[in-house]
Amino acid sequence: MKAVVITRPGGPEVLQIAERSIPCCSPDEVLVRVYAAGINRPDVYQRKGNYPPPPGASPDIPGLEIAGVIIETGVNVTRWKIGDTVCALVMGGGYAEYCTVPQGQCLPVPANLSFAEAASLPETFFTVWSNVFDRGALKNHESLLVHGGSSGIGVTAIQIANALGHTVYVTAGSDDKCNFCEQLGAAKAINYKTENFAEAIQQITNGKGVDVILDMIGGDYTAGNIASLADEGRLVLINTMKGKDVQVDLAAIMRKRLCITGSMLRARETSFKADIAQNLEIIIWPLLISGKIKPVINKVFPAEKAAEAHRLMESSEHIGKIVLEFEE
């Protein structure tokens, strides 16, 4: 099979097309002929040598989400059959024409979506559901602040939370990105280059703050996050793009009874991811089928141009997801 491989740690140019053996599926896995694979920031970290894959994942083929057709099933697989179209969250190996997936991490491709659109869903949908609704426990009519509102995570969080009746605020790095986020459903988008987001949140919420914050920034955003949370608020960390070492006001955490938590999804056990998939299929997939939630894709690249796709990812000029396509 053709695969996009990391030939050595480095810049986008180290991504090259190579021949690899088609993987064999275990009893609880399916083998998928991949037609599209989503690109995510962890792929960039892995390419640079800063995010080693967990045990069992491909050491040199990145890619955390795919869409395609099942061509083989393991002996214990009961849900899926050969010919089913699926999208799936994988631990790695997604930038390839074939990829194995634990059966519980697959979801059906909605009939109204292309393979490219379906491949843009799993990583961000699994991440948002697990961190905002499970770990962050966003409930009833509580409010949510998402940093990086125009990212793949951001556009997913805006749409899901808005569709479920929550007020969503976001930060983004330009007026165009802010306008896009508001058109997508954010109640207010804050340009972090021209405004102090913590001051803006206090003004918007009349001093109350927000109930949950989904943060992929870390670093010096942490103090602003704590100031932006309402009493009993929850800060959920999923990345630390501006650094992991910070000083925090412990008294504010105690006074406001805050919860600070976070997670890394990639290395979690298959059963954990399967539970997320079940919730997504029951609660969120009908919203995709009805069109109330839609994939937001910035650009689709042929697999041979994976380096270009990574350059776009690193530029942060995109809005929404970037996807690779393999020829059908």
pLDDT tens for each residue of 157-197: 999 999 999 999 999 999 999 999 999 999 999 999 999 99
Residue 320 confidence (pLDDT) above 80: yes
Q: Which of 200, 220, 218, 217 is nearest to 209 (CA)?
A: 200
28 pLDDT band, cuts 50/70/90, is very high
Give the separation between CA 61 and CA 43, rounded to whole angstroms.
Answer: 9
Q: Do domains 2-121+266-325 and 125-262 have the same CATH topology?
A: no
| Average pLDDT value for residue range 64-89 | 98
The 3-state secondary structure of 106-148 reads EEECCCCCCHHHHHCCHHHHHHHHHHHHHHCCCCCCCEEEEEC
Confidence bin at 125 (pLDDT 50/70/90): very high
The CATH code belonging to domain 125-262 is 3.40.50.720
Q: Is the pLDDT of residue 49 over 90?
A: yes
Rounded distance, CA 169 to CA 183, Å? Answer: 12
Residue type, 202: Q
Q: Is the predicted pLDDT of residue 72 greater than 80, yes or no?
A: yes
Q: Give residue 241's pLDDT.
A: 86
pLDDT at 267: 87
**β-strand pairing of 85-89 with 98-102:** unpaired
pLDDT at residue 328 in the model: 77
Do the Cβ atoms of 128 and 164 come closer than 8 Å? no
Q: What are phi and psi of 93, to 5 degrees?
A: 85, 10
pLDDT of residue 157: 98
pLDDT over 80 (residue 33): yes
pLDDT, mean of residues 97-104: 98
DSSP 296: -
Q: What is the DSSP letter of 27?
A: T
* Whole-number Cα distances in Å, 107 to 33, 46, 199, 226: 15, 25, 41, 36
Of 148, 143, 203, 136, give the one whose Cα is nearest residue 167: 143
Residue 56, pLDDT score: 85
- pLDDT (0 to 100) of residue 23: 96
pLDDT value of position 40: 95
Write out the H or E segment, with its range, that includes residue 306. Answer: helix 306-315
Q: What is the mean pLDDT of the chain?
A: 96
Q: Give Cα separations from 100 to 13, 86, 189, 196 (angstroms).
A: 26, 12, 39, 45
pLDDT beyond 80 at 144 = yes
Q: Interior CA angle at 95 toward 267 and 284, to 5°? A: 60
Whether domain 2-121+266-325 has CATH 1.10.150.120: the reply is no
What pLDDT score was predicted for residue 265? Answer: 92
pLDDT at 123 over 80: yes
Q: Is the pLDDT of residue 242 over 90?
A: no
pLDDT in tens, 256-280: 999 999 999 998 999 999 999 999 9
Q: Which residue has the tokens 């997939």?
A: 285
**Cβ(67)–Cβ(118) below 8 Å:** yes
Kindly calculate the radius of gyration of the chain based on its CA atoms and give it in whole angstroms.
Answer: 19
Q: Where are the domains of the chain?
A: 2-121+266-325, 125-262
CB-side exposure of 17: number of CA atoms within 13 Å? 11
SS3 101: strand
- pLDDT tens profile 183-236: 999 999 999 999 999 999 999 999 999 999 999 999 999 999 999 999 999 999
Residue 129 has pLDDT above 90, yes or no: yes
Calculate what percentage of the chain has a pLDDT beyond 90: 94
Sequence letter at residue 150: S
Q: Give which of 67, 64, 12, 58 is closest to 35, Cα–Cα.
A: 67
| Torsion sign across C-alpha atoms 50, 235, 129, 292 | negative
